[in-house]
């Protein structure tokens, strides 16, 4: 198979979808790997390292897209790449189609085979390809929030851990998944007072035990949210519905009750966000805006700020799936690997993931029915 690694064109995105060692695995298995010029520079990988691993360096991203049978990316194709997608081409990347229905329609019209990292499922509905990025985003959410609380950046001027005689910052985290737990770990390490909310009581028990009771845990509902949002110095949105759009849980009325200079970081923004007052995405270069006196941070590719760490963490878990798709082709790979089959979102014009189909208001077709036609 011919595998293409284009340069990411999303603003401030410096990750790359394959490291040289991954390229070498593929070329040693008999596949051709095409890497766009300088695709890995942001993460610290030179074109020469890719050449030594067996890759062919392409000066033109358009030529790469035209020749590759499978495109391996980090972030979803952007409008400037839509016309490059080929019929039958495998697109393997973070798609988050619930937040970009236009892309969903393009993938269907182009009859591509779109596989999303974020819906590949392991045992107990785990998300092994999303997890390392969630771990990074959770750590970064608290780290960035601590900085934004400084008055220099428009925050309340509150130190996360306080000092003797002065209370610590109140951190409220909505969602007890990977992002929420890693954000909690960092916040506790900084000395903050942490309140975490989730809709699963068993999950709250697990988190409470994990942190030896050093947190406040609450069932997530509108009543609890109204109470805790108003006293938060830092509010972190960490809710995930695999394949679906994030629910709007924090209303504008709630945001209006927050303290001047409080900070909101919505990690769920790549799935549409859980905060009503987040009406735009932001970038690492211009990450915040103020509304109702509250600082809003809505960067959808947070791990892109630490591209070397994030690239290694991502490719550790994605390269095996790339190799499987290349070795077997998508039909056999889907048939033999249920985890990979769960990653299929759009195949030859059909929406084969129920949550994605619902989120973009399209008809759902079971994957096995689609595969029988081809």
Active-site residues: which are they?
96, 270
Instruction: Name every residue whose Cβ is closer than 8 Å to that of residue 15 and which is 6 or more positions away in sequence.
Output: 8, 42, 43, 74, 75, 303, 304, 307, 310, 311, 314
Instruction: Pinpoint the alpha helices (H) of the chain.
Output: 20-28, 47-52, 61-67, 79-82, 101-110, 131-148, 178-189, 201-210, 222-229, 252-256, 307-336, 338-343, 354-359, 367-371
Phi, psi angles (nearest 5°) of residue 26: -70, -45
Compute the chain's Rg from CA coordinates. 21
247 conformational bin, left if phi > 0, alpha if psi -120 to 50, beta if neither: beta
- Other Cβ atoms within 10 Å of 214 Cβ, number: 11
Could you give the angle at the alpha carbon of 324 between the alpha carbons of 322 and 327, nearest 5°?
Answer: 110
Nearest to 8 by CA among 56, 55, 42: 42
Instruction: Name every residue whose Cβ is closer than 8 Å to that of residue 297 and which is 6 or more positions away in sequence.
Output: 144, 145, 148, 263, 264, 265, 266, 282, 287, 288
Count how many residues are written for the chain: 374
The per-residue DSSP string of 14-65 comes to ---S--HHHHHHHHHTT-EEEEETTTTGGGT--HHHHHHTTPEEES-HHHHH
Please give the structure tokens belonging to residue 175: 């969602």
Please give the structure tokens belonging to residue 272: 């549409």
């Amino acid at each position: 198979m011919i595998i293409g690694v284009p340069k990411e064109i999303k603003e401030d995105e410096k990750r790359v979808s394959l490291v040289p060692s991954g390229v070498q695995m593929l070329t040693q298995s008999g596949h051709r790997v095409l890497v766009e010029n300088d695709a890995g520079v942001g993460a610290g990988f030179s074109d020469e390292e890719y050449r030594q691993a067996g890759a062919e360096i392409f000066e033109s991203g358009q030529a790469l897209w035209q020749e590759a049978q499978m495109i391996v990316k980090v972030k979803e194709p952007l409008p400037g790449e839509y016309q490059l997608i080929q019929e039958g081409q495998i697109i393997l990347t973070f798609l988050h189609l619930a937040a970009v229905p236009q892309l969903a329609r393009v993938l269907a019209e182009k009859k591509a085979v779109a596989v999303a990292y974020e819906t590949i499922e392991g045992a107990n509905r785990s998300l092994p390809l999303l997890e390392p990025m969630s771990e990074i985003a959770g750590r970064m959410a608290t780290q960035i929030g601590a900085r934004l609380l400084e008055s220099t950046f428009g925050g309340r001027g509150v130190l996360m851990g306080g000092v003797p005689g002065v209370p610590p910052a109140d951190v409220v985290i909505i969602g007890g998944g990977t992002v929420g737990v890693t954000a909690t770990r960092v916040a506790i390490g900084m000395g903050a007072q942490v309140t975490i909310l989730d809709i699963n009581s068993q999950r709250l028990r697990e988190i409470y035990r994990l942190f030896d009771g050093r947190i406040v845990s609450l069932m997530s509902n509108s009543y609890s949210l109204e109470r805790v949002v108003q006293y938060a110095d830092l509010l972190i949105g960490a809710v995930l519905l695999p394949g679906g759009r994030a629910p709007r849980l924090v209303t504008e009325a709630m945001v209006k009750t927050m303290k001047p200079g409080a900070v909101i970081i919505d990690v769920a923004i790549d799935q549409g966000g859980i905060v009503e007052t987040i009406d735009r995405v932001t970038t690492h270069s211009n990450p915040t805006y103020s509304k109702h006196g509250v600082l809003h941070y809505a960067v959808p590719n947070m791990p892109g700020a630490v591209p070397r760490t994030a690239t290694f963490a991502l490719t550790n878990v994605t390269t095996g799936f790339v190799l499987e798709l290349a070795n077997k082709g998508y039909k056999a790979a889907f048939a033999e690997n249920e985890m990979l089959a769960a990653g299929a979102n759009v195949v030859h014009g059909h929406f084969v993931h129920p949550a994605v189909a619902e989120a973009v208001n399209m008809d759902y077709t079971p994957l096995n029915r689609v595969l029988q036609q081809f």
